[in-house]
Structure 1
């Protein structure tokens, strides 16, 4: 015979807590009265019940949080939507860059909805999330070449960040009282050290290799995009930033250029703000300025409109922003062509050209703060984490300078 429920509170305003027996043992539930619609108090109250708590303390804690939400006129929902339903609602309300939204949609489509889409928000537990992450780590890949293979720690970490943000929004919407993804001990998402350990090695060129490629690309191939490759190599700017550069951003007198926007990879011929949302100014060397000045004359010979201040420096002949993905494909074909002509030239991506700029500066002893500013990283920590492979070279140079200084003392 089950134990008679024990009422711990009888106040309609404070809520009530009772215990009950289940096959798994004693459980606790609470009831409170909440407005049917916080914005229409004339509709009166309705009863909200939440149960399944394994201890009185847990039930009291969640009840206290529910009462706080009631006091702040937060909206409650009797039946929470599923993860899949809420994900669509949540993503539709985000105000972020299109590329970020697309990335979130891809994560939801591939790594959230197929596994958790049918689970109700208020039924999702920390242990269920943990099991989901372990499954992704074992067989989570959904791309055709690697379908069913393990996901990297970095990708699982991105899933965790997204899920935690979405569940925070569900808490704010009054759909759940606690965010289960925030229970890190139970959820056990990939740690920062695990993510760093699995990151692929950055491949860059030496100064000699970069010089050899640019000399071949300009002298033998006579590549129309040589000024673009040269500018990225000598500034370290992002592909999207270079493609959205306007002639008005260049000051040939001071030898500087301003980076104020970036190409949007999700929408044809559209610019957006930079990755960090802020502009920066870069100094250019004399030879790169000369290359750009000659290139502007070439563009103006095609059409005066292509050399106007508001024209894109590396735009197509219609004056539009070139497709970032198409530019990357053309870079890949150029590197493949160069490998047939230049001995032991590693295959470097277009992003690797940016990495080459940063790596060479650090190897030459430039202060990491200078590299951070040129690359447009939000913090110097980001710069040092990415280019930690340069540290041994920096240490060796520092030790030699230290020893030489003492020898001269």
Structure 2
């Protein structure tokens, strides 16, 4: 009778039983746990693909329930290793390099998520397998034309034409990726910048396709707010009124604290905004700097009454550092959840009043700006209230107000000459 062989103990306290070799580089090992047999694989990879001179290190993954499962994972790891090693001499594919590029960006999380979505939907599927130095301006041009014909990849509109604005965003991201490839020595020129061949959508084409901004008149806004406060008795009435009377962004309003209100100066300081990529956190405003906007007396009274109501729920909800429009636990609310609540209220309001058209929650911001411009308020003031980085942005968005402004200016000019 043969003697029982001693059991080798692994570093994790698991009983080692048998080792088998995969046909591919690397190894697969079987080991015993209390739950039964499990498998692990091991391969050697570069410690840092960017610095191959640092040498190799062992990569181990365990817990697989079959050799097939372990082998599939091993093949995936080998493929990833091969992809990483391409960066140590050979020119990578656009898809591999794009993934590496986006990870290294230092931007707002929402911006990076937007870039990842563009890469995932409109760059990697069509161009991802092309080596960077094999990507031509002609190929990029063909890609843009394909996107314009049937580039939409969302569930509802899949296969339909992609808008000029969306194709332009693809062009911006692709151009930035290829610029980085030049910096890393993979390319000498950026094929996306060969305008005669690529023919990306122009600014005028993007503007021409921009959907028309829908706003309310002063009477329509008054009708909704009165109904919302008096008849609906909406707990979120102070939020809707603040958005309409200040033009601040949805995420800016949700990030306000009571300490941001200055009742003596009759102003509100916008110091932060909810991070839409992770709405449990805040970040600096879109322009990166805080701004102060004036607020009318009645809106301040509405907020004061709301503060009393919050204090009745809990004293902590009315403390200086509490979020004005936080939930009942004092935590930030989701911007998307507020949009859903707005939509439900608007559905009821439009069914109640024939003269009310549907506007988005952002339509309150657009309504604020449009009414100010129609009343003759200087565009620079509107820009400061909205928090646009430049006055050009303001005038481009609200170009539909220009005819009204011109007509009013002509009337005032003629009246001035008559009086003279």
Query: What TM-score results when the alignment is normalised by the length of structure 2?
Result: 0.79
Q: Say yes or no: does 1:220 pair with 2:231.
A: yes
**Distance across 2 between alignment mates of 1:172 and 1:305:** 52
Does the CA-based 8 Å contact 1:231-1:288 persist in structure 2? yes
Q: Secondary structure at the match of 1:204?
A: coil
1:403 maps to: 414
**Distance across 2 between alignment mates of 1:290 and 1:40:** 65
Q: Say yes or no: does 1:316 pair with 2:327.
A: yes
Q: Say yes or no: does 1:158 pair with 2:172.
A: no
Q: Deviations over 1:342-364 (max 9, x none)?
A: 12211000001100000000000
1:282 maps to: 293
Does the CA-based 8 Å contact 2:252-2:274 persist in structure 1? yes
Q: Deviations over 1:178-204 (max 9, x none)?
A: 111111121110000000000000000
Q: Secondary structure at the match of 1:258?
A: strand
Offset at 1:273? 1.1
Q: Say yes or no: does 1:240 pair with 2:256.
A: no
Does the CA-based 8 Å contact 1:171-1:178 persist in structure 2? yes
Q: Secondary structure at the match of 1:346?
A: coil
Runs of 4+ in 1 over 2 A off after TM superposition: 37-41
Deviates more, 1:218-227 or 1:269-278: 269-278
364, 369, 377: which one aligns with 1:366: 377
**Distance across 2 between alignment mates of 1:193 and 1:38:** 41
Q: Say yes or no: does 1:79 pair with 2:81.
A: no
Q: Say yes or no: does 1:171 pair with 2:182.
A: yes
Q: Secondary structure at the match of 1:312?
A: coil
Does the CA-based 8 Å contact 2:279-2:335 persist in structure 1? no
2:126 maps to: 115
1:394 maps to: 405
130, 133, 139: which one aligns with 1:128: 139
Q: Deviations over 1:113-172 (max 9, x none)?
A: 000000001111111111110010011001111111100000000000000011111111
2:45 maps to: none
Query: What TM-score results when the alignment is normalised by the length of structure 1?
Result: 0.81
Q: Secondary structure at the match of 2:401?
A: helix
Aligned residue-pair number: 339
Offset at 1:276? 1.1
Q: Secondary structure at the match of 2:352?
A: coil
Does the CA-based 8 Å contact 2:50-2:88 persist in structure 1? no
- Could you list the runs of 5+ residues in structure 2 that have no partner in the other structure? 1-48, 54-86
- Could you list the runs of 5+ residues in structure 1 that have no partner in the other structure? 1-36, 42-75
Q: Secondary structure at the match of 1:167?
A: helix
Q: Secondary structure at the match of 2:107?
A: coil
1:7-406 equivalences in 2 (<5 Å): 78-406=89-417
Does the CA-based 8 Å contact 2:214-2:359 persist in structure 1? yes
Offset at 1:38? 12
Offset at 1:77? 6.0
Q: Secondary structure at the match of 1:340?
A: helix
Offset at 1:377? 0.2
**Distance across 2 between alignment mates of 1:117 and 1:106:** 14
**Distance across 1 between alignment mates of 2:248 and 2:324:** 14
**Distance across 1 between alignment mates of 2:312 and 2:232:** 21
**Distance across 2 between alignment mates of 1:38 and 1:210:** 57
- What's the C-alpha RMSD, in Å, of the aligned pairs? 1.6
